[in-house]
Amino acid sequence: MQQFNNGNFHLLCDKLARKDHDLKGILREYGYPPMWTRPATFQTLILTILEQQVSLASAYAAFKKLREKIGYVTPAKILALTDEEMRAVYFTRQKMGYARELARAIQSRKLVLKQLEPLSDEEVRTQLIQLKGIGHWTIDVYLMHALQRTDLFPLGDIALVNSLKLIKKLPSDISKEGMLKVAEPWRPYRTIAAMMLWHAYIKRKGIVVSQ
């Protein structure tokens, strides 16, 4: 189990840049990416659920409304909200169910987030995938940003896929297997490569991103 941190993040970017001309070009043109991290908490998982299949701007708008309504997000506060109150902070019916299922799992101690920290990536995945609404993309994001694991490459992320295709001049119809093959030389630091690709995408598009 490898993790990135403030002490090694730029070194890992440099290591990838030495191996890959295109990643080196990202550093040369845009500098180092931010070290996008989040606390390993229930609140972070709720934000990640809100981010599923919508733009970052939409997800942050919903999360901001939720924080204005209840403050720091806890399982008890989520479970106390009515359907109407959740709709008012932009939860879809589907995501209401996901958030409540997660809240009940935490409350009942079926899931203890602190206990995930020493586990391998696959052990974390095995525990989280059992919860309705927590799929592989959500788990990848949690492993990358909250547990700071170094070797995730979430192809469920459209921005990452688009940036990879552009940087590597890949055909638009390339398969997931084909993209994973392109990313294979970046092991065991594919998370860092993904952050470099996101950074290039964000800079090219002029997007302002909250961490």
pLDDT tens digit sequence for 43-74:
999 999 999 988 878 898 999 999 999 999 99
Tokens representing 26 are 């990202």
CB atoms within 10 A of CB 192: 27
Does 24 score more than 70 pLDDT?
A: yes
Domain ranges of the chain: 9-36+152-205, 42-146
CA 55, 208, 71, 129 dihedral sign is: positive
Tokens representing 41 are 């908490």
Q: Which residue has the tokens 């989040």?
A: 38
Q: Which CATH fold would you assign to the domain 9-36+152-205?
A: Endonuclease Iii, domain 2 (1.10.1670)
Quick one: how far is CA 45 from the chain centroid? 10
CB atoms within 10 A of CB 184: 10
> What rounded mean pLDDT belongs to the chain?
95
Q: How confident is the model at residue 93 (pLDDT cuts 50, 70, 90)?
A: very high
- Percentage above 70 pLDDT, the chain: 98
Q: Would you call the peptide bond into 118 cis, given omega within 30 degrees of 0 as the criterion?
A: no
CB hemisphere CA count around 12 (13 angstroms): 26
Distance (Å, whole) CA 161 – CA 198: 9
Q: What is the DSSP letter of 209?
A: -
Across 148-158, average pLDDT: 94
| Among the ranges given (28-42, 46-60, 147-161), the one the predictor scored with the smallest mean pLDDT | 46-60
Does 211 score more than 50 pLDDT?
A: no
| Residues forming beta bridges with residue 3, ordered by sequence position | 149
Distance (Å, whole) CA 4 – CA 15: 13
Does 28 score more than 60 pLDDT?
A: yes
| Residues forming beta bridges with residue 149, ordered by sequence position | 3
CATH among 1.10.340.30, 3.40.50.2300, 3.10.20.30, 3.30.1490.190 for 42-146: 1.10.340.30
Distance (Å, whole) CA 133 – CA 11: 35
